[in-house]
Every structure is written in structure tokens, then in C-alpha cells.
């Protein structure tokens, strides 16, 4: 009697489980990913990216890395994300005011370096993109960048055996859709954390500033931190620093997104980490050197009603101070970041 009841009950139990499993459409049995940990550098704020919606895994990261370096995401196969975002330039376009896009076109803005994106809420110089996962869609579909349609990109990925394998490894089955693709790219770019510059080492007590560097840091804390706030060197606000619009591009920045005239010529305050590597500077790359940027702050500002009060009366900065500021800014270069093999081309490009 006892035995029968045990058998009976376990049968019912098993049946229940099976019915349930069938309905949940269990992703391939044995699906397992290796979680990656995301380390917040000491003293930094909490990241804003919602990692719960897109947990970092080794498989997702590797898929994102392959996508980032794959030219097939563009119409003619030539323009990967990495063609404009180069690791040795902290993922900016090295020495180009504008980057090259499909069919001999140029971007209309300067490609920024990519790092510490987990702390950023809005993307692009005008903040038009409100989520990191949505960011890749803009270059993929822009006529002067990768010039492809999302459907074509998805079709190319679906028809590739390696990709199907990698989507399955990262997400449990071979479904390829925009969400999975962009989440994988996010996983790769989220891991691009740059926090090992001389400045960081000084903060951690592992290095010391020399005299010009520490003098520069003091000036920076007086004149620059209200916008270029530590530790990310931006407060993520949009500001007009008195750079007149280039008549051939007519880029009015934030105003394009908000349609508010008060936002005319406002651009996102760029983080200054790795600034030594990301020249030329400003949203349109109009300045070749940091000296020119400093020259702008002290003599070039063209004030309009929207120009920020902190810069509108032109800053008083001596030549000595410029030298010291530059010495300080150079301590923000993170040479281990630009050589980190985890972020390099996985070498699977065809």
C-alpha cells in the first residue's frame, strides 16, 4: 500500500513538473552561462545601467565583442563599430575630426572615446539616445555611417553558423533579434571601464603627482570641475560653451532633441579621461590640441544668451596654468585600458 502511494504520488508530481516545463518552453537543457562581475572602482557612484535586465556573461560579452568588430553590420562590409571606435585611441577615431562612413561619407560629429558607459544615462553629444542598448541602432542605420537596415543585419547574423552558436550560448537558443544583438553589444561596451590612469593610481595612493600635475589639478578643481566633475570628469549636463555653429553643418546640439531654443548649441559635457588620445576635440573636432581648447576658453568664447555663465566672460588662464592643466589632463590617460587584450579584435573577422 505504502509503495503504491509513493509511486502514485511521485508520478503525479513528475507529471506536474513535466507539464510545467513544457509550458515554460525551457531553453535548451543544460543552458548555462558564466557570469561576469562588474567592478565599481572605489569611490565611484553606482552605475545607472540596469544590469538586472541584461546580466553580464562571458558568452554575451564575447558575442558583443565579435559584433563590435564585425564589418558585416554595415552595408558594404567595411564599417564595423571598431572602424570608428579604435582601441588605441580609447575607442575614439584617432586623429580625425569626422569619421569615414559608407560610400565616401563623413559623420557630422567627432567620434567620442567609449568607456565608463555604465554610468551614462543618455548618449550622443545631444543626448538623443536614452538607453545604451538602443545606441548601436543609430550608426547601423545612418546613411553616413554603416548605412544598413536592421532587418538586413539580423538576416546576415541568422545565416551565419558561428553567430547562431554564439547567440545560443549567450541567450539559450538560436533566436536572433534586435534586442539580443544590442544587449550583447551593450555587454561588450559596458565592460570598457577605464579606471587605471595615473590620476586613479594617485587617488588610490599607488602613485604621486609631480609638481606641474598637482598644480594643474588644483587649477582644474577651481575652474573646470563644475562641469567636468570627478571621477568621470563630466556631470552629464548639456552646456553651451560659446562655440559658434559651423555654417556647413548647422549643428545646434541639444536643441534638435528638445526643440527648445534655450538648448541652442548645448552639447554634452565630455568626460576627459584619455583626453590625450581622443584628439581632435569638441563635438565637431574643430580643435586639434588641448592648447587650442584652452585658448578657446580664455579668448575664443562667442557668448550668446544660452552661453554658460561659467565661461561666457572668458576664463582667466595664464600660459603657465595652461601648461599645468595639460600636465594634469595627461594623467588621465589609461595605458592599460588601451592595451587590454579582452577588448581587442577577437580576430574572427572575415
- In the complex, what is the shortest distance from the CB of residue 303 to ligand HEC, in angstroms, rounded to a whole number? 12
157 forms part of the interface with ligand HEC (CB under 6 A): no
C-alpha cell at 249: 553643418
Is 278 in contact with 89 (CB distance < 8 Å)? yes
256 forms part of the interface with other proteins (CB under 8 A): yes
CA-to-CA separations, 131 to 8, 73, 111, in angstroms, rounded = 52, 20, 18
112 forms part of the interface with ligand HEC (CB under 6 A): yes
CA 309 to chain centre: 29
φ and ψ of 100, to 5 deg: -85, 135
Q: Tell me whether the omega of the peptide bond preceding residue 231 falls within 30 degrees of 0, making it cis.
A: yes
Q: Which residues contact 290 (CB under 8 A, 6 or more apart)?
A: 275, 276, 279, 281, 325, 326, 329
Question: Which has the closest alpha carbon to 51: 122, 141, 119, 153?
Answer: 119
- In the complex, what is the shortest distance from the CB of residue 13 to ligand HEC, in angstroms, rounded to a whole number? 48
φ and ψ of 93, to 5 deg: -90, 120
320: exposed, middle or buried (C-beta count within 10 Å: 0-12, 13-18, 19+)? exposed
- In the complex, what is the shortest distance from the CB of residue 84 to ligand HEC, in angstroms, rounded to a whole number? 3
Instruction: Give me the residue label for grid cell 538586472.
Output: 52
Question: Which has the closest alpha carbon to 229: 269, 281, 277?
Answer: 269
Selected binder of ligand HEC within 90, 192, 277, 293 (CB under 6 A): 293
* Residues 70-99 contacting ligand HEC, CB under 6 A: 73, 79, 81, 83-85, 99
249 forms part of the interface with other proteins (CB under 8 A): no
Rounded Cα gap, residues 62 and 80, in angstroms: 16
CB closer to ligand HEC out of 200 and 282: 282
Helix (H, G, I), strand (E, B) or coil at 100: strand
135 forms part of the interface with ligand HEC (CB under 6 A): yes
Helix (H, G, I), strand (E, B) or coil at 28: coil
Q: 311: how many CB neighbours lie within 10 A of its CB?
A: 19
21 forms part of the interface with other proteins (CB under 8 A): no
Selected binder of ligand HEC within 56, 63, 114, 166 (CB under 6 A): 114
52 forms part of the interface with other proteins (CB under 8 A): no
Contact window for ligand HEC (CB under 6 A) among 10-18, 198-206, 238-246, 332-340: 238-246
37 forms part of the interface with other proteins (CB under 8 A): no
281 forms part of the interface with ligand HEC (CB under 6 A): yes
Q: Which does 257 bind (CB under 5 to 8 A by kind): ligand HEC, other proteins, none?
A: other proteins
Q: Which does 259 bind (CB under 5 to 8 A by kind): ligand HEC, other proteins, none?
A: other proteins
- In the complex, what is the shortest distance from the CB of residue 232 to ligand HEC, in angstroms, rounded to a whole number? 11
Task: Cite the beta strand spans of the chain per DSSP E.
Answer: 100-101, 105-106, 238-239, 267-268
306 forms part of the interface with ligand HEC (CB under 6 A): no
Instruction: Give me the residue label for grid cell 565579435.
Output: 66
DSSP assignment letter at 122: S
Q: Which does 239 bind (CB under 5 to 8 A by kind): other proteins, ligand HEC, none?
A: ligand HEC
Enclosing H/E stretch for 223: helix 211-223
Q: Which does 177 bind (CB under 5 to 8 A by kind): ligand HEC, other proteins, none?
A: other proteins
In the complex, the residues that contact other proteins under the rule CB under 8 A are 2, 5-6, 8-10, 12-13, 15-17, 19-20, 23, 50, 53-54, 124, 128-134, 137-138, 140-142, 149-151, 154, 177-179, 182-183, 256-257, 259
In the complex, the residues that contact ligand HEC under the rule CB under 6 A are 68, 73, 79, 81, 83-85, 99, 101, 107, 109, 111-112, 114, 117, 123-125, 135-136, 139-140, 145-146, 185, 189, 223-224, 226-228, 239, 241, 243, 267, 269-270, 272, 275, 278, 281-283, 290, 293, 297, 308, 310-311, 315, 325
Amino acid at each position: 500500500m505504502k509503495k503504491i502511494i509513493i509511486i502514485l504520488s511521485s508520478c503525479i508530481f513528475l507529471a506536474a513538473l513535466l507539464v510545467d516545463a513544457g509550458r515554460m518552453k525551457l531553453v535548451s537543457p543544460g543552458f548555462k552561462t558564466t557570469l561576469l562581475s562588474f567592478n565599481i572602482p572605489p569611490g565611484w557612484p553606482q552605475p545607472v545601467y540596469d544590469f538586472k535586465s541584461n546580466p553580464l556573461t562571458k558568452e554575451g560579452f564575447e558575442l558583443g565583442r565579435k559584433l563590435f568588430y564585425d564589418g558585416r553590420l554595415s552595408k558594404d562590409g567595411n564599417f564595423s563599430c571598431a572602424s570608428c571606435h579604435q582601441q588605441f585611441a580609447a575607442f575614439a577615431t584617432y586623429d580625425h575630426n569626422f569619421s569615414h562612413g559608407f560610400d565616401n561619407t563623413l559623420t557630422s560629429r567627432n567620434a567620442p572615446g567609449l568607456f565608463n558607459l555604465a554610468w551614462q544615462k543618455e548618449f550622443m553629444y545631444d543626448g538623443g539616445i536614452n538607453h545604451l542598448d538602443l545606441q548601436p541602432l543609430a550608426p547601423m542605420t545612418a546613411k553616413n555611417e554603416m548605412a544598413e537596415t536592421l532587418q538586413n543585419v539580423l538576416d546576415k547574423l541568422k545565416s551565419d553558423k558561428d553567430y547562431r552558436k554564439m547567440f545560443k550560448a549567450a541567450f539559450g537558443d538560436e533566436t536572433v533579434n534586435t534586442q539580443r544583438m544590442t544587449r550583447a553589444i551593450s555587454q561588450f561596451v559596458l565592460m570598457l571601464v577605464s579606471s587605471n590612469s595615473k590620476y586613479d593610481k594617485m587617488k588610490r595612493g599607488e602613485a604621486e603627482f609631480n609638481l606641474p600635475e598637482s598644480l594643474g589639478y588644483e587649477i582644474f578643481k577651481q575652474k573646470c570641475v563644475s562641469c567636468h566633475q570627478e571621477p568621470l570628469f563630466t556631470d552629464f549636463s548639456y552646456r553651451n560653451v560659446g562655440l559658434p555653429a559651423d555654417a556647413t553643418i548647422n549643428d545646434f546640439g541639444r536643441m534638435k532633441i528638445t526643440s527648445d531654443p534655450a538648448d541652442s548649441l548645448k552639447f554634452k559635457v565630455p568626460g576627459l579621461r584619455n583626453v590625450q588620445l581622443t584628439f581632435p576635440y569638441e563635438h565637431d573636432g574643430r580643435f586639434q590640441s588641448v592648447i587650442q581648447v584652452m585658448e578657446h576658453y580664455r579668448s575664443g568664447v562667442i557668448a550668446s544668451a544660452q552661453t554658460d555663465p561659467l565661461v561666457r566672460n572668458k576664463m582667466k588662464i595664464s600660459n603657465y596654468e595652461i601648461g599645468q592643466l595639460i600636465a594634469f589632463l595627461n594623467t588621465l590617460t589609461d595605458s592599460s585600458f588601451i592595451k587590454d587584450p579582452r577588448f581587442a579584435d577577437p580576430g574572427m573577422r572575415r
